Amino acid sequence: MDPTTKTNGAISYPGGKGQLYRHIINLTPPHNTYISLFAGGGAVLRHKRPALVNIAIDVDAAALNTLCSSINISGDVDHRYQFINTDAFDFLASRDFTPDTFMYVDPPYLLESRKQHRHLYRGELSAEAHSTLLAILGGLPCRIAISGYWSQLYADTLAGWHHQSWRVRTRGGSWATEHLWMNYPRPVALHDYSYLGDNYRERERIKRKATRWASKWAGLPILERQAILAAIQETGL
């Protein structure tokens, strides 16, 4: 089975993030380098504001090619993006990571955590491989967020990580609980504010407010702007 298909120009992928990407982006801190490990359909990568460097890793060449085509949809190559067809473990062993890197990890979910215990991906991971992956990620200096369904292995290994969960519709129409584990506190600054808000109405309210305030700010004399900035600095905000 080819796990990556296109429907009306949109990527469909088992385990894809549907509308969940908005919640993940709203928990993504500022960063210069973005790494999508087990990129698959790359919903977060496709929708978030690009970083200076964006790297997609997947062992499935077909999925990676489809993702690459969706990002470079105009036919022009965007040199901020790298698409690397390799094993995740080989990639992790070949790189040095820095604190200004954010890595989003979306591995094939632990087989025992799925409702249907069957293989869906070309690059499935055994329970032992999941355990090894978590051990490697736990030793890296960059900021990391990991998606998955709940399992004792993840709960125990990532017990010290910040945790968030959401009830979502699966591709089959049933309900499931998606979990996100982060090795950093809930961010007070975001890389991308485009999806801020819990729903469409809230997002639109925030956008309208931001537009109004930006317009007022642009209309202020330069010294008034500096006075406001100085007052903000003095309050420690």
One digit per residue, pLDDT tens: the chain, 237 residues? 344 444 444 455 555 566 799 999 999 999 999 999 999 999 999 999 999 999 999 999 999 999 999 887 666 778 899 999 999 999 999 999 999 999 999 998 886 777 665 556 666 888 899 999 999 999 999 999 999 999 999 999 999 999 999 988 777 777 888 999 999 999 999 999 999 988 889 999 999 999 999 999 999 999 999 999 999 888 865
- 125 and 219: one domain? no
User: Do residues 148 and 179 touch, judged by C-beta distance below 8 A?
Assistant: yes
Nearest to 45 by CA among 75, 27, 65, 68: 68
User: According to the model, what pLDDT value does residue 3 have?
Assistant: 45
Q: Considering the domain boundaries, does residue 75 fall inside one? A: yes
- 204 and 175: one domain? no
- 173 and 130: one domain? yes
Cα within 13 Å of Cα(105), Cβ side: 26
Q: Considering the domain boundaries, does residue 187 fall inside one? A: no
- 155 and 223: one domain? no
- 125 and 9: one domain? yes
Q: Considering the domain boundaries, does residue 195 fall inside one? A: no
Torsion of CA 143, 147, 152, 153, to 10 degrees: -60
Which residue range forms the structural domain that includes residue 213? 200-235
The conformational region for residue 180 under phi > 0 = left, psi -120 to 50 = alpha, else beta, is: beta
Report how far Cα 190 is from the mean position of its chain's Cα atoms: 12
Q: Quote the number of domains for the chain.
A: 2
- 164 and 210: one domain? no
User: According to the model, what pLDDT value does residue 19 have?
Assistant: 75
- 174 and 204: one domain? no
Q: Considering the domain boundaries, does residue 161 fall inside one? A: yes
- 141 and 225: one domain? no
- 59 and 110: one domain? yes
